Amino acid sequence: MDTNRGRSMVAASGVETPEGILNFSHFGRWLVLSHALAASAIVAACGDDTESQAPGAAKDAAGGSAGTRSDSGNPAGGSAGRGGSGGTGGGAAGTSGGSAGSSAVTSDGSAGTSGASHDASPTDASDAKADAAGGTTGTHGSGGAPADAARDARSDANATGGAPGDASNDHSTSGTSGASGADSGGDSSHTDSGSAADAADGGRSVLQPPAPGTGVQIVTPEWVVPKGEETFRCYHARVPVNAEMKIGRLASQASPVTQMSLIVYKADGDTAPDGTLASNGCTSGFGGSDWVWAAYAEDAELSMPSGVAKTLAANQLIKFDLHHYNAGAEPITMKVALNLYFSPAATIEASALVSFHTGINIPANGTQTASGDCTPGAGAKFFSLTTHTHQFATQALIRRVLANGQLGEMIVESDDWAHPVERYWGADPFLVLAAGEKLQYSCSYRNPRSPNITIGTSFAFNEQCMAIGYFFPASAGGSCR
């Protein structure tokens, strides 16, 4: 099954550049510094094709068409297309008020207390000043009908633990207790558009914890994103399950905000206390075994194909790299919830191939197109491909490059930076590249300002060009440059 929905791709160890490999242990430290500065002007050389143009010399992006572009703000939610996945499960976000508890992570349905986690039985940046440029995003639930919208965001936002039962591998919207319709084969279309709302909850329904024994929910404490500013946070948590977990589906929800980024990492050896919300980002590289998932919409979800999962150890330490930008006129009370749904029957390990282009330097009042390529390992089967950019991007593409060097099919074509298209293949045939083929990703930008816009973490002042792909088996590997 093939779906257009919305997100970005690099090997776990590094990215190849003309100067060699970009080591992510070093790069992670650069990102932490960049978080603190928020308006980083760091530019690294990149071996990819990068084209800059002065005013009046705008360059047309590469031709070709892709699947359906995601529609933002659709109050009825993204509809499932041909062969549609979807079904029930509302995936709407909670109100900005969030949970009255702090780092609520429980296994018994009771309210969590300040950073406390309760074990589930195995059988049971400182805030960076930003300008107010950039449009606001709506809600972004994937397709599916609303469900259980009458739950108040201030009610307990607690995990439901228990044994890793067989949660649905459906590609429905994140929502009620893991219940969802089943995927069917074929070619369908998903968006990160707004889900249907319930007036009793301020127009949005709340991401429910998984049903007992089917998964766990982890919720951050609340913090405030001031008007016209962006915040960087790192949330340290422990998954409260005393047995190895096979995660077949993930769903997240954040308070409404102009733009956001959530990256979930495995954090083996993390020394921060469980429940710590630190005032800095914690990017730890791109792709590979520690990368669990990334979400760039308030309501997001990823389902693994049948038999495929991401493995987490018992009581796995994880961290959330959190970045939120509020271009509005009022402060926003922010919190983020993450649902992990169990799929114990899965035997195939999933992984991520994620790129990070380091050659972005958009001239004042000019344009630039930055591009690179990713080479998957032999036998890699992709079930999700998307891109990630910031507000100055006008288009992001991923296309096949044939073994003879000629450009092949357009796979992802997105012209909405806030709601990027995601291609999703929920069942065979998956996206598989032939020997000698690779993926080319490119991002085009227009800079309306007088200073150059460079690579960095700030949504307001910097840009990024990422391709993100999820594939199996993890042993196939791959690299990007």
Tens-place pLDDT, residues 427-472: 999 999 999 999 999 999 999 999 999 999 999 999 999 999 999 9
Is residue 243 scored above 60 in pLDDT?
Answer: yes
If you ran DSSP here, which 8-state letter would residue 201 be given? G
Tens digit of each residue's pLDDT (9 = 90 or more) over 133-183: 333 333 333 333 333 333 333 233 334 444 454 433 333 333 333 333 333
Q: What is the pLDDT of residue 43?
A: 33
Please give the backbone phi and psi of residue 197, each rounded to the nearest 5 degrees, phi first. -115, 165
pLDDT band, residue 358 (cuts 50/70/90): very high
Contact 106, 28 (CB under 8 A): no
How far apart are alpha carbons 274 and 283 in whole angstroms?
Answer: 18
Confidence of residue 61 (pLDDT cuts 50, 70, 90): very low
Nearest to 357 by CA among 462, 281, 471: 462
Is the pLDDT assigned to residue 277 strictly greater than 90?
Answer: yes
Q: What contacts 68, CB < 8 A, 6 or more positions away?
A: 4, 81, 189, 191, 421
What angle (nearest 5°) sits at the alpha carbon of residue 453, between those of residues 447 and 456?
135
- How many other β-carbons are positioned within 10 Å of the β-carbon of residue 369? 22
Q: Determine the distance from the C-alpha atom of residue 64 to the mean position of all C-alpha atoms in its chain, rounded to a whole number.
A: 26
From 53-62, 361-370, 384-393, the region with the lowest mean pLDDT: 53-62
Return the closest-CA partner of residue 454 out of 42, 6, 10, 22: 42
Alpha carbons 350 and 426: distance in angstroms, whole number: 13
The tokens describing 478, both together, are 């791959």
**Predicted TM-score (pTM) of this structure:** 0.66
Mean pLDDT for the chain overall: 71
Task: Take residue 399 and report the two structure tokens written for it.
Answer: 């296309």
With beta carbons less than 8 A apart as the criterion, state whether 415 and 395 touch.
Answer: yes
* pLDDT tens digits along 73-107: 333 333 333 333 333 333 333 333 333 333 333 33
Distance between CA atoms of residues 347 and 220, nearest Å: 30
Q: Into which CATH architecture does domain 3-68+351-480 fall?
A: Sandwich (2.60)
Nearest to 304 by CA among 293, 314, 312, 295: 293
**Least confident span in 28-32, 71-75, 359-363, 411-415:** 71-75
SS3 state at 311: strand
Is there a shared CATH topology between the 3-68+351-480 domain and the 128-347 domain?
Answer: yes
- Rounded Cα distance between 385 and 72, Å, is 18
Q: What is the pLDDT of residue 407?
A: 97
pLDDT the model gives residue 284: 87
Collect all residues with Cβ–Cβ distance below 8 Å to 429 and sequence separation of at least 6.
none
Could you give the 3-state DSSP secondary structure of residue 29? helix
Which pair of structure tokens corresponds to residue 454? 């460079």
CB-based contacts of 29: which residues, under 8 Å, 6+ apart?
none
Say what the pLDDT of residue 160 is.
42
Q: How confident is the model at residue 285 (pLDDT cuts 50, 70, 90)?
A: confident
**Measured on CA atoms in the order 337, 218, 292, 88, is the torsion positive or negative?**
negative
Mean per-residue pLDDT, 282-306: 94
| Average pLDDT of span 328-342 | 97
Q: Is the pLDDT of residue 234 over 60?
A: yes
How confident is the model at residue 21, as a pLDDT? Answer: 32
CB 306 within 8 A of CB 169: yes
Reading the block at residue 280, the tokens are 């800095």
pLDDT at 237: 98
Q: Which H/E stretch holds residue 229?
A: strand 229-238
Does domain 128-347 fall under CATH 2.60.120.310? My reply is: yes
Domain boundaries, the chain: 3-68+351-480, 128-347
DSSP 199: G
- The backbone region for 134, taken as left when phi is positive above 0, alpha when psi lies in -120 to 50, beta otherwise, is left
